[in-house]
């Protein structure tokens, strides 16, 4: 664990910086995290009219950890005002989801269809393989398919599944039949459903 050095990065604000930070804390339109960071800098300022507070006093006053106070002050001194206030940008772009809304709709439609020849039902691995076979994804694992299918079915495929009547009831396919259950293949010849329960795999 790194040793804390409370006096290594003293904060000295100019009049313009103090005015900007005070405006951030008063206008209420900035993100809460940015407002907290502005408070840390204002209370740490060596030129504060009422005198700067210690890092422990700031941490207690703002209900933050002392290490958080130290990091904000260090970033201000070493990188500047803006990096100390705002969230640090990602160095790498976020990884896009393997299964987006379009692929989800296809996935549910596949679940509602007939299982492959020689099978009585879809397994998670079969569904993953089918998505790749159709060119909908380049790579996807059974666990990703399982997590996708745990989402509310109405949100996944409102265009694929419809209610069987005017009154609330179970969802069914447009042809009136109910969707087939989906099972995930596990070790030992057993299948795991979407809730992690095991049952015997039925193979034709």
For residue 89, is pLDDT > 90? no
Least confident of 26-35, 95-104, 105-114: 95-104
Phi, psi of 72 (to 5 degrees): -65, -45
| The two three-digit tokens of residue 59, written as one number | 């941490």
Domain span including residue 22:
15-85
Query: Is 149 within 8 Å of 140 (Cβ atoms)?
Result: no
How far is Cα 18 from Cα 29, in angstroms, rounded to an integer? Answer: 18
- Residues contacting residue 168 through CB under 8 Å, at least 6 positions apart: none
129 and 80 both lie in a single domain: no
Please indicate, yes or no, if residue 147 is contained in any of the structural domains.
yes
Backbone angles phi, psi at 87, to 5 degrees: -65, 140
Can you tell me which residue has the tokens 């393989």?
Answer: 129
Residues 116 and 176 in one domain: yes
Structural domain contains residue 4 = no
- pLDDT interval class at 2 (50, 70, 90): very low
Note whether residue 9 is domain-resident.
Answer: no
Task: Give a yes or no: residue 95 inside a domain.
Answer: no
Structure tokens at 24: 């951030």
Residue 96 lies in a domain: no
Tens-place pLDDT, residues 132-142: 999 998 888 98
Two tokens, residue 84: 């100390």
Tell me which of 52, 85, 118 is where a domain ends: 85
Percent over 70 (pLDDT), the chain: 67
Percent over 90 (pLDDT), the chain:
34
End of a domain among 57, 85, 113?
Answer: 85
**Nearest Cα residue to 130 out of 176, 97, 95, 99:** 99
pLDDT tier for residue 194 given thresholds of 50, 70 and 90: very low
- Residues near 137 by Cβ (< 8 Å), separated by ≥ 6? 98, 99, 103, 131
pLDDT at 182: 53
pLDDT digits (tens, 9 = 90+) for 14-46: 999 999 999 999 987 888 899 999 999 999 999
Residue 90: the pLDDT is 64
Q: Look at the chain and report how many structural domains it folds into.
A: 2
pLDDT of residue 8: 78
Of 27, 53, 85, the residue that ends a domain is 85
Q: Identify whether 6 is part of a domain.
A: no
């Amino acid at each position: 664990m790194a040793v804390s050095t409370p006096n290594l990065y003293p904060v000295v604000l100019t009049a313009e910086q103090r005015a900007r930070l005070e405006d951030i804390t008063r206008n209420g339109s900035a993100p809460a995290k940015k407002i907290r960071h502005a408070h840390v800098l204002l209370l740490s300022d060596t030129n504060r009219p009422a005198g700067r507070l210690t890092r422990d006093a700031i941490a207690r006053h703002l209900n933050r950890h002392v290490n958080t106070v130290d990091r904000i002050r260090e970033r201000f001194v070493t990188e500047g005002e803006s990096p100390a206030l705002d969230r640090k940008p990602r160095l790498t772009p976020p990884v896009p989801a393997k299964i987006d809304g379009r692929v989800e709709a296809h996935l549910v439609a596949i679940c509602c269809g007939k299982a492959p020849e020689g099978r009585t039902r879809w397994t998670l691995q079969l569904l993953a393989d089918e998505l790749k076979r159709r060119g909908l994804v380049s790579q996807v694992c059974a666990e990703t398919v399982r997590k996708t299918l745990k989402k509310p079915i109405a949100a996944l495929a409102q265009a694929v599944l419809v209610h069987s009547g005017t009154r609330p009831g179970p969802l069914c396919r447009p042809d009136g039949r109910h969707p087939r259950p989906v099972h995930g293949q596990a070790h030992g010849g057993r299948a795991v459903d979407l809730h992690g329960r095991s049952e015997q795999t039925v193979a034709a």
